[in-house]
Amino acid sequence: MEGTKIRKGEKTKQSVIEKTALLLNRQGYLTTSLAEITDATGLQKGGLYNHFKDKEELLIESFKYCCTLVDERIKETLDAEQTPVNQLLAFVEFYFGLDFPGGCPIANAAVEADSASAPLFQQAQEAMNRLLDLLEGIVKKGIQLNEIRPLADSKEAALYILSTVEGALLMRKLFPASSSITVVRDQLFQYINEDLKQA
């Protein structure tokens, strides 16, 4: 009986996370009201706090869930490619076409939480570091396979690619009708194909 109760509680908690994650990413992790969260979940404040220590814990779990959804899509994208260079190109293409409610969860949480929620900001930092590590690993593998120039700095390449795509997403949000995002994408493709790729 006890085990069933725990499983039911875990199920309810996961359901709350799934129902609030996209709402928070669209409307704001810190600006979405508790009333909007209770409306989305069908639980009252007391019911929510049966599963979460406080609102901040719910925000963090929802953010992590959004990151998991994006990470799964990235993995699918990369797994479909055979070579490190093509994986880098596919990553760029994926990010420029990112179709996720509210946009990139990492960028959203970082901007919002910078001075308002140290725990959420730390989660955003960790998520960004995971992406940097992923890209760095692809570049290193490309060097080992002699696909990427041996003198390429994997850390710098990862930072350049990720910061450029994140910046481009911000530009697209601010200027949706602008063609600047296509220019930036083409420049990244050129960087990967000409500066990184072994001739």
Considering its fold, how many domains does the chain have in total?
Answer: 1
Each residue's pLDDT tens digit, 17-37? 999 999 999 999 988 998 999
Q: Identify whether the C-beta of residue 94 lies closer than 8 Å to the C-beta of residue 135.
A: no
Is the overall model pTM greater than 0.85, yes or no?
Answer: yes
Q: Which residues lie across from 148 on neighbouring strands?
A: 197
Cα angle 103, 173, 40; round to 5: 40
Give start and end residues of each alpha helix (H) in the chain. 2-27, 34-41, 45-48, 55-79, 84-96, 105-113, 118-144, 154-174, 180-190
Q: What is the CATH number of the domain that holds 82?
A: 1.10.357.10
43-49, long-range: CB within 8 Å, 24+ apart, which pairs? 43/12, 43/16, 48/16
Structure tokens at 173: 């949000």
Q: Which structural domain range is residue 125 located in?
A: 2-196
Contact indicator for 123, 60 with CB cutoff of 8 Å: yes
Residue 95 identity (one-letter amino acid)? Y
pLDDT in tens, the chain (199 residues): 445 555 777 888 899 999 999 999 999 998 899 899 999 988 888 888 888 889 899 999 999 999 999 999 999 999 999 999 999 999 999 998 888 888 899 999 988 887 778 899 999 999 999 999 999 999 999 999 999 999 999 999 999 999 999 998 888 888 877 777 888 999 999 999 999 999 8
| Three-class DSSP category at 148 | strand
